[in-house]
Amino acid sequence: MTTFSEDYSKQFNADRKTDPHKSALVIIDMQYATGHHDGPLARMMKSAGNTVTEWRFERIKSHVIPNTQKLIQAMRQAGGRVIYITIGAALPDCSDAPVHMRAFFQSMKNYEGQHAHKIIEELSPEPGDPVIRKTSVGAFASTGLDHLLRSLGCEHLFVTGVSTNMCVETTAREAADRGYAVTLVEDACATTHKELHEGTLQNFNRFFGKVRSTQDVLKLL
């Protein structure tokens, strides 16, 4: 028997047909600053005695990178788009970023021209791939991402990257509010610990979009 809560949530999460030519893989914040086991964020977490660092960066190595590589290849072969989102400032003093983000960027030297700001080598963009820098948590708030997606004719977004409960989820929710069909690829995302990762996916799956594995996404493309 379907409960009222289950029936209610289904209104927000109906299946929508996937057309690979109208789809985009959106890779979020996979930079040395935030997505590398020896990057500034990892070092900061370790120095602070943060015990959840290991889960995050082991998952990036064992799941996020290899699965995102598979998705990139499949999306290109299917005729879809691969779009990279980065986080960081344009200016060395980070004055172009929101006030509450400046200290975070400065502490990691995460601004254009710095190694920390670069996308990790394993997921390097190809010539012609859009790379959009954001200064906000969500990718729509501080960029022209919506205009780009609509210009490219993209209707379905497959979202990967870090962190599941922060930039990934915020971007995915923003996309859903703008009418895009959104899939979070659960084994191509990571955050600080397993419980937070899984709780975020569960909530997103109820009201905002779909949560699928890499293998399930590959079958759609």
Domains, the chain, in order of start with CATH, read: 19-220 (3.40.50.850)
Which amino acid belongs to residue 123?
L
184 pairs with which residues across the strands? 159, 211
- Quick count: other Cβ atoms within 10 Å of Cβ 56? 27
Q: Write down the residue that tokens 């598979």 correspond to.
A: 70
- Those residues whose C-beta lies under 8 Å from the C-beta of residue 79, and which sit 6 or more positions away, are 20, 21
pLDDT, position 14: 74
pLDDT tens across 59-70, in order?
999 999 999 999
> Is the omega angle on the peptide bond into residue 163 within 30 degrees of 0, that is, cis?
yes
pLDDT, position 15: 81
Please state, in angstroms and rounded to a whole number, the distance separating the CA atoms of residues 60 and 63.
Answer: 6
- Those residues whose C-beta lies under 8 Å from the C-beta of residue 209, and which sit 6 or more positions away, are 13, 172, 175, 176, 181, 182, 183, 184
Within the chain, which residues score under 50 in pLDDT?
1, 4
Please state, in angstroms and rounded to a whole number, the distance separating the CA atoms of residues 10 and 32.
Answer: 38
pLDDT, position 1: 46
pLDDT, position 8: 60
pLDDT, position 35: 95
pLDDT, position 16: 84
pLDDT, position 38: 92
CA distance to 4, 21, 156, 170, per residue, from 136 (Å) = 36, 28, 22, 10
pLDDT, position 3: 53
pLDDT, position 46: 83
